[in-house]
Amino acid sequence: MFLRLAHQHRQFVQDLVMNLQALAIVLERRGYPASCYTCGDQMNSASFMVSLGDNHLIRFLVSDYGITWTEMRDDRELMKLEGAEAISQLDELADLVKQSMQSDTGSKTLAKKY
């Protein structure tokens, strides 16, 4: 049982790292300075950062030791979440990006029609 759980955890972390890499690429394309660094080929940890402007920075760390979301403004920590709460906050960020992309696509489509 424990070996199965360990394997599932490793797979979860790898999936999370891949999604962080994709989110960083999308944010960069949207004009936000973003990065996602991993150590080695195992994809068992990552450091994701994005600047939302006005000295507003989000850092998301994932590793075998844990998951944290830290939000800072003007070099002051506003919020620090761990585990499932951190992932929920990351999901909210991804949803905002999706909504932004959908609204941009809709306006571009309208602009093409007219």
> Can you give the pTM of this predicted structure?
0.84
* Domain ranges, ordered by start, for the chain: 1-96
Residue 106 tokens read as 């809709």
pLDDT tens-digit map of 57-87: 999 999 888 999 999 999 999 999 999 999 9
Contact 39, 45 (CB under 8 A): yes
Please name the residue that has the structure tokens 């944290």: 68
16 DSSP β-pair partners: none
C-alpha distances in angstroms, 45 versus 4, 9, 67, 78, 94? Answer: 20, 12, 9, 24, 19
CA quadruple 81, 12, 60, 71: dihedral positive or negative?
A: negative
- Burial letters for 69-94: b for 16+ Cβ neighbours within 10 Å, e otherwise? bbbeeeeeeeeebeeeebbebbeebb
pLDDT in tens, 12-58: 999 999 999 999 999 999 999 999 999 888 889 999 999 998 899 99
